[in-house]
Amino acid sequence: MEKDFQSAPKRFWQTIRRLRRGKRGSIQAVYSKGGTLLTSTEEVIGRWKEHFEELLNPTTPSMLRTLVVEAQSRGVSFVYALSPGQDIVFSSGCDLTLLKRKLKQAFAVLFDDIDHSMCQADSEAFSSFAHAQVSVANEIYGFLGEPPVFLFCPTVIWTGSKVISRNLSVDGVAEVASVLQRRPLIWDNLHANDYDSRRLFLGPFKGRETGLRGHLRGLLLNPNCEFEANYIPLHTLGSWHRTSPEHHPHLPCQDPREALRAALRPGQAPAHVPLSSGSPPSSPHKAQGRVPCGGKGLLSEAQVRLLVGLHYLPHEHGPAAQRLLQDLTWLKTHCHLVSANGKKSAPQKVEEWRGRASRLTALCDDIAELHCSVVGGVNRAVLYDLYPYVWDLRNTALVAKAFVCWLDGRVLGDSATLATWKNCFHWCGTTTGAELLGVDSEPWVCLGSCLALCPEYTLVLEDELGVCGCVLACRTCAPSPSAATPPGCPP
């Protein structure tokens, strides 16, 4: 046993050497693009960063050149932007060199939405975070030869009275200009959705007075994260820009309905926008609530309007969402008309209830059909960008439809006003969650789509005959316990 113990290490290392075949690991040298051996840690890390940026962000010059030429032919200035703020060391000469190399054909440097703290090297080199950003911006501006168009977004920039401003007025901008002693540049977050992954804003550019243009150095629209969702926002922004206050003195703001109508006008939209002049064929299964997903085609204008109405703007719902919420609230409030054990109601009242229920279920079927049209549509880019939102709409609509169908004769009468299932949709209405609180707050105060249900409190009800319905609950967003949760819903 002692002999085996002594020979075991020898056999082990013999096996290792045989597997390695006598090869030894070599030192991995790192060279610059010019072939110079890099010895400092900072230069080696910078070269690796440059290598992986090129590997993960390939840019085909011919494609980019085609895009620039196409933009110029339509009177649009193409601006290529970089956002280096997440990992840049402002005092690093290597990082500045890499940024200059990237910006040979770019004219925008963006430092928005980044951590405002500085690393130790930057804290020693600059007196403030603003000093660091301005230093880099001025260096790049001089490197580019001081071009006539150079966009720079600091971490703090004027967005209006709120981060996401519902309205922008001439008087408000004039007040800011008096403080800055110059015309301000506005970063408009009306259609930005990066603060809530469940929301999308397809509505028209709205709430900006047409007379603003004479009081601004410019307006930058921060769009949806999804590229295909920005056609209507950008088209209606162009309509606002073309609306002259001299020609429309009685119109302080452009008509958003007319701007939306113009964006959806047949022949106005480019070929990649999923619009068609025809209507989708009616489904023989629609009466039963089943909408088959059929072949590849285009969304009809009515379907696009439905989608826009359900994902409208941060501070308000569109027509479709308002109608859905109003009908659902009314049906819940007047469910005693069709209660199984309630007092017998007048036939015309029952007919009114079931008429509105039929209208709501038809709208839910339209939403399900919209989902199928997007899934089976010819524009796959639209599918990839919008599918999570359309899927969420479909599921919410199906739950709302099931709830209303259950109310029709299956729910027991209940005269109580508090602490009952009836109040689970207390928050539903034509206003947003922020307005429900009676305060002027940002759109992210209440997150989610127009019917944000709580899955953990969505329960299936059963009786002796089996499944008989479901209970739905939601959360509202309020600072005080009395306003935080609708009666009957979990805290």
Q: pLDDT category, 166, cuts 50, 70, 90?
A: very high
Tell me: pLDDT of 242 over 70: yes
DSSP state of 341: S
In this predicted structure, what is the pLDDT of residue 192?
94
Average pLDDT, the chain: 75
Q: pLDDT category, 425, cuts 50, 70, 90?
A: very low
Tell me: pLDDT of 491 over 60: no
Q: What single-letter amino acid sits at 445?
A: V
Phi, psi (degrees; rounded to nearest 5) at 158: -75, 125
Q: pLDDT category, 409, cuts 50, 70, 90?
A: low
Q: Which two tokens stand for residue 156?
A: 């703090």
pLDDT digits (tens, 9 = 90+) for 66-104: 888 888 888 888 877 777 777 788 888 888 887 777 666
Q: What single-letter amino acid sits at 465?
A: L
Of 173, 195, 175, the residue nearest 186 (C-alpha): 173
Of 209 and 295, the structure prediction assigns the larger pLDDT to 209
Tell me: pLDDT of 466 over 90: no
In this predicted structure, what is the pLDDT of residue 284?
35
> How far is residue 1's CA from residue 8's CA, in Å, rounded to a whole number?
11
> How far is residue 227's CA from residue 121's CA, in Å, rounded to a whole number?
37
218: Cβ contacts below 8 Å, ≥ 6 apart: 185, 186
In this predicted structure, what is the pLDDT of residue 106?
54
Tell me: pLDDT of 346 over 70: yes
Between 16-30, 347-361, 400-414, the lowest mean confidence (pLDDT) is in 16-30
Tell me: pLDDT of 275 over 80: no
In this predicted structure, what is the pLDDT of residue 266?
63
Percent of the residues in the chain that have a pLDDT greater than 70, as a whole number: 66
Q: Which two tokens stand for residue 453?
A: 């249900």
> How far is residue 367's CA from residue 298's CA, in Å, rounded to a whole number?
16
Q: What mean pLDDT do residues 385-411 have? A: 85
Tell me: pLDDT of 129 over 60: yes
Contact between 469 and 411 (Cβ < 8 Å):
yes
Name the range with the highest mean pLDDT among 29-38, 69-78, 97-106, 247-256: 69-78
401: Cβ contacts below 8 Å, ≥ 6 apart: 289, 360, 361, 364, 365
In this predicted structure, what is the pLDDT of residue 87?
75
DSSP state of 375: H
Instruction: Tell me which residue has tokens 């880019």.
Output: 381
Q: pLDDT category, 255, cuts 50, 70, 90?
A: confident
H or E segment and range at residue 142: helix 129-143
Q: Which runs of consecutive H residues, i.e. helices, occur in 189-318?
A: 231-242, 256-263, 301-310
Tell me: pLDDT of 265 over 90: no
In this predicted structure, what is the pLDDT of residue 344?
76
DSSP secondary structure, 157-213, as one string: ---SSSSS-S-B-HHHHHHHHHHHTS--EEEE-TT--TT-TT----SPP-SBBGGGG
Tell me: pLDDT of 432 over 60: no
Residue 82 vs residues 67, 191, 234, 316: alpha-carbon distances, Å:
17, 20, 21, 32
> Which domains occur in the chain, in start order?
41-153 (3.20.20.80), 170-263 (no CATH), 288-484 (1.20.58.240)
What's CA 299's distance to the chain center, in Å? 21
Q: What mean pLDDT do residues 353-361 have? A: 93
In this predicted structure, what is the pLDDT of residue 171?
92
Q: pLDDT category, 486, cuts 50, 70, 90?
A: very low
pLDDT digits (tens, 9 = 90+) for 44-65: 888 888 877 776 666 566 777 7
In this predicted structure, what is the pLDDT of residue 167?
93
Beta bridge partners, 82, equal 109
Q: What mean pLDDT do residues 246-256 have? A: 67
Helices and strands (DSSP H and E) totals, the chain: 15, 7
Q: What mean pLDDT do residues 192-213 have? A: 90
Phi, psi (degrees; rounded to nearest 5) at 467: -65, 125
CB atoms within 10 A of CB 208: 23
In this predicted structure, what is the pLDDT of residue 478?
42
pLDDT digits (tens, 9 = 90+) for 294-342: 445 678 889 999 999 999 999 999 999 999 999 999 998 988 888 766 6
> How far is residue 208's CA from residue 238's CA, in Å, rounded to a whole number?
13
Radius of gyration of the chain (CA): 30
Between 41-50, 268-277, 279-288, 390-399, the lowest mean confidence (pLDDT) is in 279-288
Q: What mean pLDDT do residues 113-142 have? A: 87
Q: What mean pLDDT do residues 169-196 have? A: 92
DSSP state of 287: G
Q: What mean pLDDT do residues 248-271 have? A: 71
Q: Which two tokens stand for residue 81?
A: 């932007």
Name the range with the highest mean pLDDT among 50-59, 220-229, 333-342, 464-473: 220-229
